[in-house]
Amino acid sequence: MINIKLYSENRRILQIAIPSIISNITVPLLGLIDVTIVGHLGSPAYIGAIAVGGMLFNIIYWIFGFLRMGTSGMTSQAYGQHDLNEITRLLLRSVGVGLSIAICLLILQYPILKLAFTFIQTTPEVEQLATTYFYICIWGAPAMLGLYGFAGWFIGMQNSRFPMYIAITQNIVNITASLCLVYLLDMKVAGVATGTLIAQYAGFIMAILLYIRYYSKLRKRIAWREIWQKQAMYRFFQVNRDIFFRTLCLVIVTMFFTSAGAAQGEIVLAVNTLLMQLFTLFSYIMDGFAYAGEALAGRYIGARNQPALRNTVNHLFYWGVGLSAAFTLLYAIGGKGFLELLTNDTSVINASDTYFYWALAIPLAGFSAFLWDGVFIGATATRSMLYSMLIASASFFLVYYAFHDFLGNHALWLAFLIYLSLRGIVQTLSLIHI
């Protein structure tokens, strides 16, 4: 009986986690494909333009990622309560808010771009090409932010397969459209941007069609007046406000990490960038299990099933500990080889030896932060998430500025590991609020 229960719980976790991991891995492919295409156009300015433009949109969409996370948590709870009316309202509410934000971005696109280039120093050619890329891709904001609402809703409905199908479709469309526009119509950067735009709307339209095809019964429960009901909107924005500020802290820490590395020279910047790829790879895996935490924790909280909630959390942490140990061992054995795949610059490879042990500590230091984020989002305990992020972020800067004069880049990595660890520790201590 115990084995059956173990198998059943692990199966539920993996049914959500594995498609989410596949979706996560496909996300950077959109940017990688764009870089690969322009990388064969004969000028490094094209690569620089895509890098700058891609970074701008990564930051913008990262900040508004609360649309996915907040929707996932609230939908999973409504699913656990079998509240089909609220389930329907949450989708329309989230997509509606996302489209409203997108309209604001479209209206403010000129000042956003001008503000961005006050912080980004680049050559006039790269700036001109990046501007072209930005003015085309910004029109994808309605599709992207609307898709965030759908993705969160699908996950809340215990269905991570649809976001995976959408992500794969987007990549196929992006490759096809970009290649045709660049090489057949000679549109260069504009072609890459247009291909990305087409892929974004293909994903959004696919999400709508999947909803119509598989959730058609829910359309009967649409009550437009109740969607924008004052109390419901207050809770929606309260949950998402906390996630927004939490994400803002995350963006600030990440950008500072890059900037502080850059201030120490090209070699240190390159080393930090390469070693962070090990963290990024690990994060794709753990985010998949975090999504499982969102869906299942919210479902059991909505159903008021505390034993199932505790069981799910325990199993998530079994997976977290096991995967962290596996990734630590994998990086210890093959990490250097992985870095050599990313660069053939011997000076960078040699310099990475000094800091490599910091990267080895990332999985065990960081896994609990990912898993608790998922559980807390499912529980809509977003205030505790925000507090843990504020404490961790403040500690990051305190440690860095306290030690960077005599530890140099080691202080940056020490601060980052403490930041990751504290996110998990503080959330563990705040479990009483769930």
Q: What is the mean pLDDT of residues 258-279?
A: 80
Distances (CA, A) of 429 to 187, 220, 376, 426: 55, 43, 12, 5
Residue 71 has pLDDT above 60, yes or no: yes
**98 touches 218 (CB < 8 A):** no
Amino acid occupying residue 104: C
What is the model's pLDDT at position 1? 47
Check: CB of residue 307 under 8 Å from CB of residue 354: no
Residues 184-208: pLDDT tens digits? 888 888 999 999 999 999 999 999 9
Q: Which of 55-69, 100-114, 146-160 has the lowest mean pLDDT?
A: 55-69
String of b and e for 133-151 (b: at least 16 CB within 10 Å)? Answer: bbebbbbbbbbbbbbbbbb
For position 343, what pLDDT does the model report? Answer: 65
| Rounded Cα–Cα distance for residues 285 and 288 (Å) | 5
Rounded alpha-carbon distances, angstroms, from residue 92 to 139, 211, 224, 384: 21, 12, 9, 27
Average the pLDDT over 327-349 and give the result: 79
- The whole-number pLDDT of residue 259 equals 81
pLDDT band at 105 (very low <50, low <70, confident <90, very high): very high
Query: How many residues are there in the chain?
Result: 434
Q: Residue 125, exposed/middle/buried by CB under 10 A (0-12, 13-18, 19+)?
A: middle
pLDDT beyond 90 at 49: no
Q: Which of 214, 208, 215 is nearest to 150 (CA)?
A: 208
Tell me which residue has tokens 């990313």.
342
Q: How many CB atoms lie within 10 A of CB 67?
A: 26
Quote the CA–CA distance of 209 and 214 in Å, as a whole number.
9
How many Å separate Cα 181 from the centre of its chain? Answer: 29
d(CA 380, CA 159): 19
Q: Tens digit of pLDDT for each residue in 348-401?
A: 778 788 888 888 999 999 999 999 999 999 998 889 899 999 999 999 999 999
Of residues 33, 28, 7, 102, the one with CA closest to residue 63 = 102
- State phi, psi for 238 to the nearest 5 degrees: -65, -50
In angstroms, the Cα distances linking 91 to 95, 269, 297, 419 are 6, 42, 19, 34
Chain-centroid distance of CA 10 in Å reads 24
pLDDT at 365: 92
Average pLDDT over residues 223-241: 76
Quick check: 342 pLDDT over 70? no
Residue 223 DSSP one-character state: -
In this prediction, residue 6 carries a pLDDT of 60
pTM: 0.89
Q: How far is CA 153 from each of CA 52, 103, 170, rounded to the nearest angstrom?
A: 31, 21, 19
- Residue whose token pair is 């600030």: 252
Q: What is the pLDDT of residue 345?
A: 65
